[in-house]
Amino acid sequence: MSDSVSPRVRPVGPQDRERWEELFLAYGVFYRESFTPDIVEGVWAWLMEAEHPLRCFVAEMDNTVVGFAHLRFQHDTFTAGSGWFLDDLFTDPDSRGHGVATVLISAIEDFARARGGGTLRWITASDNDRARRLYDTVATATTWVTYEKELD
């Protein structure tokens, strides 16, 4: 990977399936999750569905997809306005330190602003120190605690 090439961000396309899947599976491994083929296929189907609220942006360097971000619109009850949730952001470990995550976040900010702005939120693991160092420079850490419960 060339150090002189800046990452370029664009919406995901059908031609990105194989590389997106590689990165998505690596993202799952990073968070100690194993995505089944049904999960991978389901998420990909959402991304290819024009009317689905989930969007995906990919970052390229040297004509290779090196990262992705999944974004979705949500209504913000604290403001009665637009809100956005960055579901997933992942960069290939070999491309880290080249600004990939930064340009992905910037691109989704631009996308959200063009559609009404609002608040962009995301979560990360408390021990994801590298990501948190970046996030601390581009956003404000909140005091909110996240809970989850699987519903059958």
CA distance to 14, 48, 80, 145, per residue, from 45 (Å): 10, 5, 30, 31
Residue-range domains of the chain with CATH = 8-138 (3.40.630.30)
The pLDDT of residue 145 is: 87
pLDDT tens column, 35-72: 999 999 999 999 999 999 999 999 999 999 999 999 99
**Residue 28 vs residues 10, 60, 70, 73, 76: alpha-carbon distances, Å:** 22, 20, 14, 23, 28
Q: By the 8 A CB rule, do 86 and 122 touch? A: yes
CA–CA gap between residue 123 and residue 31 (Å, rounded): 12
* Residue 1, pLDDT above cutoff 80: no
Entry pTM: 0.92
